[in-house]
Amino acid sequence: MQTGRTLVLCVDRDDDIGYKGKIESPVIGRPACLRAAYALALADPEDSDLNAIFQAIKMYDELSAAGESVEIALVAGDHMHMLEGDRKIGASIDSLVKETGVDNCIVVTDGAEDEFVIPIVQSRVPVSSIRRVIVSQMPNLEGTYYLIKKFFNDPKVSRLVLVPVGLLMLLWPIAYLLGRSELAPVIVVGAIGIYLLYRGLGVDDLFRGFATALQTSLTRGRFSFVTYIAGILLVIIGIILGLMNILIYYTEVGILLYVLMFVYGAVLWIALAGIVASAGIVIDNFFHDRQSLAKVIVFPFFIGAIGLITYGASIYAIAVSNVPDFPFSTANAITYMLYGTIGGLVCAFAGIGIQHLVNRYVTTSETPDVIELI
């Protein structure tokens, strides 16, 4: 017989109990878990998490009948944001261990996705067993169609798959309407590549972080909210000008040169957007968090340095490719590339120097307080 106190833990990583059943997690105790199961069953009787909850209740009853000291709980993550959801699960388990006093855990899940949180559970409490609940069904064509339909009705899937496919299908007729049908394959393939990089490099997480920072700056009345909005507008201008450059200097060249044309038209505006946005962060830190000022003061300088170097390099790369009507010759392009590189390096070194001075200022301003406390 298992010694100590055991926690039967049902994990719902995508928070179906909250998203569908409107139940806040963590849920502790058999009656509360049973109510959560009923709420989810009424909202979606076909959800597999329902079976996992009932399996956890069954295991709890069996262990209780065997005379073991046992507790049952249900934890859930976030339906749309897995990173925040996993953090929520970790915090919930911390509070559960503290509240119930358990020293081992039996994890019950409904599939492989929920089992990704096993390391999170193990870092808080030893896991003595894992039970994966698989619902037995007879596969057939009608059932497969229904599952696919249900799959695409999920907001997470629709945003991940349907939205990009819809945008790609719109880009093709737009190219025809603009009279540049020969660009349609290039635009579609380029859009697919951008989307794959967007997902693969985790740019979506950066955008979510930016949205959170924008909301925080607005609710706290920070100056950075204004600079964020200005940065967004400048990025939009840069993207438009970059796309216009592709149309203006279009010729039968490779995809790499199209990217360089876009960079040539957009990079200075995007760099300016980064400088403006980071300047707002610097101002906010100066007034509200001077301890972190030295860490952020360098951002505008580094962004400017990258913008200048990239601008000069794009001019040179396009010029040596002999693109018709390009306003820079190869000789001029070399000069611009050198100016851009030197300007970028000067900008970066200036940022490092200013960061050093600010760091010394912050350290010096803290010293009297430390002496006084001693």
* 282-300 confidence digits (pLDDT tens): 898 888 877 888 888 899 9
Higher pLDDT, 167 or 63: 63
4 alpha carbon, distance to own chain's centre:
40
CB-CB neighbours of 311 under 10 Å: 23
| 91: its two tokens | 């915090």
Q: Return the CATH number of the domain spanning residue range 5-132.
A: 3.40.50
Residue 331 has pLDDT above 50, yes or no: yes
Q: What is the mean pLDDT of residues 120-130?
A: 87
Highest mean pLDDT among 54-58, 106-110, 203-207, 260-264: 54-58
Confidence of residue 121 (pLDDT cuts 50, 70, 90): confident
Provide φ and ψ at 105, rounded to 5°: -145, 145
Q: List the domain boundaries for the chain.
A: 5-132, 139-191, 224-366
Q: What is the mean pLDDT of residues 184-212?
A: 72
State how far the Cα of 205 lies from the Cα of 194, in Å rounded to an integer. Answer: 15
Q: What is the mean pLDDT of residues 315-342?
A: 83
State how far the Cα of 280 lies from the Cα of 143, in Å rounded to an integer. Answer: 54
Residue 216 has pLDDT above 70, yes or no: yes
**What's residue 326's pLDDT?**
78
Residue 315 has pLDDT above 50, yes or no: yes
